[in-house]
Amino acid sequence: MDSVGTMNTGQSILCKTSHTDSRPVASSLLVFLLLLERGMFSPSSPPARLLEKVIQYIDLHQDEFVQTLKEWVAVESDSIQPVPRLRQELFRMMALAADKLRRLGASVDSVDGGSQQLPNGQTLPIPPIILAELGNDPKKPTVCFYGHLDVQPARREDGWLTDPYTLTEVDGKLYGRGATDNKGPVLAWINAVSAFRAMEEDLPVNIKFIIEGMEEAGSVALEELVRREKDRFFSSVDYVVISDNLWISRRKPALTCGTRGNSYFTVEVKCRDQDFHSGTFGGILNEPMADLIALLGSLVDSSGHILIPGIYDHVAPLTEEEKKMYKAIDLDPEEYRNSSQVKKFLFDTKEEILMHLWRYPSLSIHGIEGAFEEPGAKTVIPGRVIGKFSIRLVPHMNMSVVETQVKQHLEYIFSKRNSSNQMVVSMALGLHPWIANIKDNQYLAAKRAIKTVFGTEPDMIRDGSTIPIANIFQDVIQKSVMMLPLGAVDDGEHAQNEKINRWNYIEGSKLFAAFFLEMAKLH
């Protein structure tokens, strides 16, 4: 997954767990007995029998599935470094995937992505976006899977213990760049489809794919394509599934039901374009930095509370049901704090931490452009400075209301200073929060499928970051979007030694198969 401005340094919430990773992969027989025991369906019901067969097939073919992942990981489909060789690898990756889908029987359209102009003037081609479909039975629901096959850069010397482009299994962990983000989950979906195809079973749902190769580079060209295809490719789509984030735990599956949005602001204070010397001018100027510091200092207090009047007015009230959701999540705040290398959080309890990451807005000051930022001592009075801060938005905050509130607040603070400088506030970027309807059919189906395959209820989680693709699908095609992660919290997407557990990959393939069957039942 990528979220706006994601960095390699961010840890994710880590869940307390007493499990070990050596738990054997559940055999198809065991799962079947489990299903029976839970009385979820009678042994003779067709979906149960079919799922049993599919699960058996996946277990039997798991080494083949791992082999395919190995082949895909071997392609250095790095979309970040603007190097022609890597761009060629990206094209090769997309061609491999298109071929794989064609061999499944899908009709595949590799849509030309055009080209990308880099800041240095260089032009690079954008890899095609794959639109594929398999089945168009009007009696079945159509589920569209979004995934991406580009990866973050990785070099052995960055601290990888194995070659990042050679999938290597150690203690049930499959190490390799892209293993969890996002080649593994894309293949898990394909594995699920291929199991039905291999057994010559009807697919329970119509399947569509939208697979891109530029997600890590900001999904260049994706939104435009989605808009263009709204009334064609997407017209028959009922549900969109994204599997591009992680569980909050090492062992307990999760369903993601919301992400925060983001309003990114710049506030410029200008005296003149040139800087001043603090010896020659210090003492007689309204210094832009002093104004800016006062403006930025008016935004948030030391307890993290945002001081902009009205900003909390539209935050969704906390329901009892939601409270229970946080309670159910198995997070050890102490372990999480330690793994984050933070001395103390603003909050001590699991519930407070999760709520302040997921369901309350937060304001972060990112930095100042135009001031002295190098090591050493320079006696400059910057003539023009730009402060940058952003507010993570939550339901039901309205972006344009927030924009007005921020501007009015800063204008008020600035007017009180009676400064002769000029101030300009702009909202540079606005991304809505995303919240799923967890009573929606596909969330119900996913919950049941998780229960069937993993024997547990999922953690109902949110993401504090913004995942723009969810909004793109929800806003443009206006269909239900679900995020159904397969990877464990410690998979290390974007980091060195990225991995997906064999268990997550194979059980994830089963999960998607079970999900197809549950969707068909609910439809």
Q: How far is CA 277 from CA 357, 368, 381, 382, in A?
A: 43, 19, 6, 9
Q: For 436-441, which contacts have Cβ atoms below 8 Å and span 24 or more sequence positions?
A: 436/256, 436/257, 436/258, 436/480, 436/481, 436/482, 436/483, 437/480, 438/255, 438/257, 440/480, 440/482, 441/141, 441/239, 441/480, 441/519, 441/522, 441/523
Q: Looking at 20-28, 63-71, 359-367, 476-484, which segment touches its own copies (CB under 8 A)?
A: 359-367
Regarding 509 and contact with its own copies (CB under 8 A), the answer is no
Q: Looking at 147-155, 178-186, 354-362, 435-443, which segment touches its own copies (CB under 8 A)?
A: 354-362
Known catalytic membership, residue 215: yes
C-beta closer to its own copies: residue 34 or 290: 290
Q: 441-454 vs 502-522: helix axis angle to the nearest 10?
A: 130
Regarding 424 and contact with its own copies (CB under 8 A), the answer is no
* Residue of 78, 215, 275, 291 with catalytic role: 215
User: What is the Rg, in whole angstroms, of the alpha carbon atoms belonging to the chain?
Assistant: 25
19 is in an annotated binding site: no
Q: Looking at 84-92, 108-116, 356-364, 441-449, which segment touches its own copies (CB under 8 A)?
A: 356-364
Among 36, 92, 345, 479, binds its own copies (CB under 8 A): 345
Neighbouring C-beta atoms of residue 74, cutoff 10 Å: 18
Regarding 296 and contact with its own copies (CB under 8 A), the answer is yes
DSSP H helices, 142-273, are: 184-198, 222-228
Residues 167-226 that bind its own copies (CB under 8 A): none
Regarding 300 and contact with its own copies (CB under 8 A), the answer is yes
C-beta closer to its own copies: residue 5 or 310: 5
Regarding 247 and contact with its own copies (CB under 8 A), the answer is no
Known catalytic membership, residue 59: no
Residue span 323-342 as binding mask against its own copies, x where in contact by CB under 8 A, dash where not: -----------------xxx
Regarding 269 and contact with its own copies (CB under 8 A), the answer is no
366 is in an annotated binding site: no
C-beta closer to its own copies: residue 5 or 43: 5
Contact (CB, 8 A) for 133 and 105: no
Regarding 379 and contact with its own copies (CB under 8 A), the answer is yes
Residues 458-477 that bind its own copies (CB under 8 A): 463-466
Polymer length in residues for the chain = 523
Angstrom distance (rounded) from CA 3 to CA 44: 45
Task: Report which of 309, 304, 312 is spatially closest to residue 413, judged by C-alpha positions.
Answer: 309
Could you tell me the smallest distance in angstroms from the CB atom of residue 323 to its own copies? 17
Regarding 278 and contact with its own copies (CB under 8 A), the answer is yes
216 is in an annotated binding site: yes
For 236-264, what is the HEC assignment?
HCCEEEECCCECCCCCCCEEEEEECEEEE
C-beta closer to its own copies: residue 176 or 464: 464
Q: Using DSSP, how many helices (H) and how many strands (E) does the chain show?
A: 15, 20
Residues making up the annotated binding site for Mn(2+) are 148, 181, 216, 244, 494
Which positions are annotated as active-site residues?
Answer: 150, 215
